[in-house]
Amino acid sequence: KAGVTQTPRYLIKTRGQQVTLSCSPISGHRSVSWYQQTPGQGLQFLFEYFSETQRNKGNFPGRFSGRQFSNSRSEMNVSTLELGDSALYLCASSPTPYEQYFGPGTRLTVT
């Protein structure tokens, strides 16, 4: 089976812009979660989607949003980018309530 794919892999944006990241889960996995990874804060949970519904949300401002499509693919959007949003954004898909399999991430740099 193909793994979790994320596009784009690298992105450079300017402060104030918005960005959309895409995630395609492993075939058959219906749950998709998003995490932000930074050197200072580590890995932090953003949100999780299951069957097109957001089931859980982390402690991030409303500028961070997401959605899931009927084919389980997911997107996350960050509006009004700030320098502190520079991070590796990771998507994970799950076949069960437990295991999560991560993609390679999208490296976002905000200048």
Partner 1 sequence: QQQVKQSPQSLIVQKGGISIINCAYENTAFDYFPWYQQFPGKGPALLIAIRPDVSEKKEGRFTISFNKSAKQFSLHIMDSQPGDSATYFCAARLIQGAQKLVFGQGTRLTINP
Determine, following the binding rule CB under 8 A, whether residue 68 of this chain makes contact with partner 1. no
Q: Nearer Cβ to partner 1, position 87 or 90?
A: 90
102 binds partner 1 (CB under 8 A): yes
Name which position in 42, 62, 70, 83 contacts partner 1 (CB under 8 A): 42
- Using the rule CB under 8 A, is 55 a contact of partner 1? yes
- Residue written as token pair 């794919």: 5
Which residues are 45's β-sheet partners?
35
Residue 30, SS3?
coil
Between the alpha carbon of residue 18 and those of residues 15, 52, 58, 98, the distances in Å are 8, 22, 20, 32
Binding of partner 1 by 103 (CB under 8 A): yes
Question: Out of 16, 61, 84, 104, which residue is the one contacting partner 1 (CB under 8 A)?
Answer: 104
- Of the CA atoms within 13 Å of residue 28, those in its CB half-sphere come to 6
Which three-class secondary structure state does DSSP give residue 106? strand
Contact residues for partner 1, defined by CB under 8 A = 4, 31, 33, 35, 42-45, 48, 50, 55-56, 58, 90, 92, 94, 97-105
